[in-house]
Structure 1
Amino acid sequence: MKDVIETPPQKALRPASHVMRLAQLGSMFPTRLSFLRSLMRRLKAENAQVSRPVWNICANGFGHAVYSVELGGHTYSLVAVSTDIPADQRSDRVIATAWDAAFCLFDGVPGPDDIARICKNAPKQEAGQFSEKELVLSRANKSVRLFNAVVAALQSGTVPDEAMIRDIGYLMRTTAVYGNGKFGIADRALIQSRPCLGGPFAAEMLTVWLIRGFTHDLVEHVGQGTLPRHVKVHLGIGNSTGLGMAPFLVSHPTLLNNWMMARETALARVRAIETLDEAQIERIWQLILRAQDHIAQWRVPDPAHQSRIEELDSDFAEFCLFYLDPRKLREPFALDAVMMAAQTHSADLEELVAALLIEPFEDLVDGLTDCMVDPFGSFIDPRESCGQLWVKIRRDWGWAQKIDFDSHSETAQFWYVSEEKLEPRLGLRHSEDGADLESPLDIARRVQDLARDLPFDGTSLAEFLRAHPQHRFAAERIQNLARNPYAEIHDNLIGEGCLPIDMLRCKLSFFGASKFDPKSDRWTRITLCQGAPLFNDYAEADDWWLPAFEA
């Protein structure tokens, strides 16, 4: 007889009607399921060694370098090109045409001709010419204030300003990390079956980690000194992300479901733990103290968001003292009680507690990362009857049916793709042109339109769609949501109340981002790899959730 794999017990999953609201998604924190975390575990498991076969960088920090690492039986190389640009050309906006550094993740070890070609084209980014040997394309700008301060300290033999290092947390920030065939680089299909790079955005996360190491080497090279280890560990890589990332969650509904399902299943398994041992209770409190330090060090210029952080700081401290008291944690099903209590508080606190509870239980959680890909995508079953589709609409789409799309406020915005940059944008429907080029992110409205034309009878969906082909997209989304309960955002994505920043935070939390620093409701800065392992040093490869700087 074949061995039977026992599924760990679990409590009920949080319902999509609660989890999939924009406000909830916009409060998410990274977890041990985040893509950077799982990549670090793979690097540690293979003891992957990073080498630097090329370092052609002048004393002022300009030139090129190559880093190579073997992972999953394949060698990947980061080609980094550092450029001297005028200060007035340095911009995080997508319309920029010059950056302090440009990068390509190369499939294999590049030869001299490859390096010369990449050094010529990478600084041009989308205007350059690339091949399927380039897996990821990226660019970055310096955090000039911190970079120059660290260089000055190293050159003078003094300790860099640790308060500045704590508050900024990165030497460079990327403004794009492109994969999957963008601008002529390799399609994801080329690597999706390879060990270690088959997971979502694994190649992009490997690129980000290698870029972070390059920034350490670059500042030490220019400063002619060595940073203390605890400073290096805290210096992650920044990122500036805008609207271009937001529509991904809507256009990949099954993938979104699988990410959320893994996260919610992890939480449900943890909530089913009947009794915690003393080591687990101690571990939870270590993480609580670290999270409190992390939040205390999370400071942003935006007054509204800073007020939100301060409220979370206060609420979390009070919540932990009352609900996570060690005596209460010794009671049966203590973590389930903690999560039920968290659901009566703010979305920020609830999602922080959810991430906290997932963190200490790798044996229950880590295997779920294998379920976070989407090998099949969406499809439509034309054999279903219109009556059966109606049942799904009534059961799963009540939230969409309640929206009044005759109201200007509920149709205030429209999504489109800019002709110049091929990037998603958001327009104002009632005051700007372009709505005729609208992208299909108005999911709720399309479901409503289908429902108006759909008969409640035994007519096959195939027959109905022959007469109404404009409803095929909505029918597919309805069937997909019936199979994948977390596939849809339960809000109106074209209403004036839609804040793209919420979608950005959801996706970035799965990357492993922290210290969200919103610059508007349409773009944010974040920090990646803060606390992550350094090159060839995996001692803490799986213990850097919400890191805090320690002087």
Structure 2
Amino acid sequence: MSIATPSLRPPEQIMHPRWLGAMQPNRLSAARSFVAKMVREKWQIRLESIDIDTRGNGTLLYRIQTPAAVMSFVAFTCEPSSVNRTSRIIGSSWDMLGTLMDGEADADRIEQNRRELPKLYSGRAPEGTLVWFRANQSVRLFEHVRESLAAGHQPDAGRVAEVGYLMRNTGLDGNGTFGTRDFRDYEETHPLAAPYHAQMLAAYLMRELSVDLVQHLARLDSADAVALSPAIRRTLAIGNGSALGLVLFSFNRPHLLQALIGGHEAALAEVLDRALDAGDPVWERLESLLNRSILYRQQDGGRYVSLPSGAQISTELRAVKRLAQAARHSGAARPLRLLAESVRGTYLPETAETLHAILLELDPEATDRHQISAAIDESLLVDATAPVEALRAALEDSFGWALELPLAPVEEANRVWYKSRDSEEPRCGPASEVPEDTHDLAFDVPRELRRLHAAALAQPAGTAVGTLLLAEPTLEQAVAHVQNLANSPYSIPRLDLRDDDLVPVHLVHLLNGFTFGLDKTVDRLERILRGLIFDGAPFRDELSIEQAADWYWAPANDIFELPVVDVIEWSEN
């Protein structure tokens, strides 16, 4: 039984960048909720055709059958080239380009995509296109796997585990980009009506394609080629790299951030406030998930810099197991809350958030009620008729943190956020290193709200907000934030974007890990994050297995009861 009014964590605790960056993938994250949907609805995905030559040039077509609709995934692959090839979004040479479309893939739409996709920014997607995507083969792994399979044996398991993917995503573009379908236009019954599920399906099928492609090429190389064993296959994910663009995203989408974090906090509060006795079977489930997570983090050999390593988190989770036993027999009315409070402040934020992600699994139905299932109204409209004193009161009540946040002194507040002229890639750097006419893309929340507060104090009672804006039109965005987000405590990260010492990777991890569901996210240069999408997720031939939705935090073969053999019968599909 749940407490009627669960207690949410205060925003001053979790909206700090260090804590935001510690929030972990969980069952509400896009990748995990998407796989759960596929398993629950028993989606059927088929490789309809594969026409690839020995150099890797050709086309693959997949058909996705859902209870609500049919979709198509078409990919155009080519021989890898080192010219203009990069893992960053600014590349212009890719090993694979493709499209995810509503409905059946007719010849005209396939050919239009074949023409338009290579143009990228100047290309236009045909009607019914949901996502355009790009990917490159792993230079460390793809050829090794191909050669191994062609020689009749499995690739080196250690090498596969170290890299973790055959292909790396370099772009998932939807929601109106290049003429793709606007997410707000999706019907409520559309199978991808939840935020980022369209991008997740594209990434999921990239993973399927990477295995189908390497097996097909191995078969072309040798009639004695074998397919990947289920054990090896399950250790393959899709690689992904992200950087500074996600920092701007976290400030440009406050309504979405409020919905994501607010939903997570509401779900967590319900779980923490459950009344449990020592004999409740929930405790065995908790221990099982802790054991899985301990082993999963222990096996993570990534070289972390700003973020803690898997070994550190694994070690602390062992201590959390002992605390869980103590909480179980404590006699407390809300033992899970007692457990969470004993972990917070004692161990790493990542350890605490891993525990929270595990706790959300203890009441799946309650947690899933907080899943965002449709587009969010993200408008920020100004009410010019409102009195200034109401604006000032809302600012002081809901944004007092912005008025009190310690800001970098002038000599240490030089960070400028901009896009490069040649590639449109988001960047940031010292003001002294960018041209004077560079457009700063960042909305400096604390400084702008302080400027608004001073302007509001200078206005006599009864003055309309419109009058203030006529005198200070550059304050419109600040006014819009106060008027629209006063009741959204989880909408804005509490930090100084101008601070020279800011560590951007924390916000990159918030979006990549917590929101999208990437794991094993290794950081570089305090601003770049490389991770895995669908690490350990079921493949398309496993979606009919009910327990396949319970795929995360588990080593290969610990979840799905499938036969594991060194050599399996060859199959194109």
Q: Same fold (TM over 0.5)?
A: yes
Kindly state the Cα deviation for residue 548 of structure 1 after the two structures are TM-superposed.
Answer: 2.8
Are residue 545 (structure 1) and residue 545 (structure 2) matched? no
Partner of 1:477: 481
Show the 5 A alignment for 1:510-521: 510-521=515-526
Superimposed CA distance per residue, residues 500-520 of structure 1 (whole angstroms, 9 cap, x where no aligned partner)? 211111111211110001122
Show the 5 A alignment for 1:422-441: 422-434=424-436, 436-441=438-443
For the residues of structure 2 that align with 1:115 and 1:14, how far apart are their CA atoms?
Answer: 49
Superimposed CA distance per residue, residues 526-550 of structure 1 (whole angstroms, 9 cap, x where no aligned partner)? 1011122211422233202333345
For the residues of structure 1 that align with 2:376 and 2:136, how far apart are their CA atoms?
Answer: 33
Backbone CA RMSD of aligned residues: 2.4
Local SS of the residue matching 1:541: helix
Q: Is the CA contact (8 Å cut-off) linking 1:235 and 1:530 kept in structure 2?
A: yes
Q: Is the CA contact (8 Å cut-off) linking 1:55 and 1:66 kept in structure 2?
A: yes
Kindly state the Cα deviation for residue 430 of structure 1 after the two structures are TM-superposed.
Answer: 3.5
Number of residue pairs the alignment of both structures matches = 545
Q: Cα gap change, 1:219/1:288 in structure 2, threshold over 3 Å: closer, same or farther?
A: same
**Aligned counterpart for 2:99 among listed residues 99, 104, 124:** 104
Show the 5 A alignment for 1:324-343: 324-325=325-326, 327-328=328-329, 331-343=332-344
Kindly state the Cα deviation for residue 162 of structure 1 after the two structures are TM-superposed.
Answer: 1.4
- State the one-letter code of the partner of 1:135: L
Kindly state the Cα deviation for residue 464 of structure 1 after the two structures are TM-superposed.
Answer: 1.9
Show the 5 A alignment for 1:47-126: 47-71=42-66, 73-126=68-121
Q: Is the CA contact (8 Å cut-off) linking 1:125 and 1:138 kept in structure 2?
A: no
Superimposed CA distance per residue, residues 392-414 of structure 1 (whole angstroms, 9 cap, x where no aligned partner)? 22223233223566823552212
TM-score of the pair, normalised by structure 2: 0.89
Q: Is the CA contact (8 Å cut-off) linking 2:75 and 2:99 kept in structure 1?
A: yes
Q: Cα gap change, 1:258/1:373 in structure 2, threshold over 3 Å: closer, same or farther?
A: farther
Structure 2, gaps ≥5 residues long: 220-225, 559-573
Kindly state the Cα deviation for residue 448 of structure 1 after the two structures are TM-superposed.
Answer: 1.3
- State the one-letter code of the partner of 2:527: R
Are residue 488 (structure 1) and residue 488 (structure 2) matched? no
For the residues of structure 2 that align with 1:148 and 1:347, how far apart are their CA atoms?
Answer: 39
Structure 1, gaps ≥5 residues long: 1-5
Q: Is the CA contact (8 Å cut-off) linking 1:192 and 1:199 kept in structure 2?
A: no
Kindly state the Cα deviation for residue 94 of structure 1 after the two structures are TM-superposed.
Answer: 2.8
Q: Is the CA contact (8 Å cut-off) linking 2:535 and 2:552 kept in structure 1?
A: no
For the residues of structure 2 that align with 1:64 and 1:337, how far apart are their CA atoms?
Answer: 55
Show the 5 A alignment for 1:281-300: 281-300=283-302
- State the one-letter code of the partner of 2:552: W
Kindly state the Cα deviation for residue 274 of structure 1 after the two structures are TM-superposed.
Answer: 0.6
For the residues of structure 2 that align with 1:329 and 1:223, how far apart are their CA atoms?
Answer: 58
**Aligned counterpart for 1:358 among listed residues 357, 360, 376:** 360
Are residue 207 (structure 1) and residue 202 (structure 2) matched? yes
For the residues of structure 2 that align with 1:409 and 1:356, how far apart are their CA atoms?
Answer: 44
Partner of 1:166: 161
Local SS of the residue matching 2:531: strand
Local SS of the residue matching 1:144: coil
Q: Is the CA contact (8 Å cut-off) linking 2:267 and 2:370 kept in structure 1?
A: yes
Q: Is the CA contact (8 Å cut-off) linking 1:20 and 1:488 kept in structure 2?
A: yes
Identical counterparts, % of pairs: 26
For the residues of structure 2 that align with 1:72 and 1:463, how far apart are their CA atoms?
Answer: 54
Local SS of the residue matching 1:87: coil
Superimposed CA distance per residue, residues 103-155 of structure 1 (whole angstroms, 9 cap, x where no aligned partner)? 21122222223222222332443343323332111111111222122222211
TM-score of the pair, normalised by structure 1: 0.92
Partner of 2:140: 145
Partner of 2:534: 529
Are residue 315 (structure 1) and residue 337 (structure 2) matched? no
- State the one-letter code of the partner of 2:502: C
Q: Cα gap change, 1:549/1:89 in structure 2, threshold over 3 Å: closer, same or farther?
A: farther
Q: Cα gap change, 1:66/1:192 in structure 2, threshold over 3 Å: closer, same or farther?
A: same
For the residues of structure 2 that align with 1:360 and 1:115, how far apart are their CA atoms?
Answer: 44
Kindly state the Cα deviation for residue 483 of structure 1 after the two structures are TM-superposed.
Answer: 1.8
Local SS of the residue matching 1:368: coil
- State the one-letter code of the partner of 2:530: R
Q: Is the CA contact (8 Å cut-off) linking 1:146 and 1:165 kept in structure 2?
A: yes
Show the 5 A alignment for 1:37-56: 37-56=32-51
Q: Cα gap change, 1:524/1:189 in structure 2, threshold over 3 Å: closer, same or farther?
A: same
**Aligned counterpart for 2:450 among listed residues 448, 451, 476:** 448
Partner of 1:3: none
Q: Is the CA contact (8 Å cut-off) linking 2:234 and 2:537 kept in structure 1?
A: yes
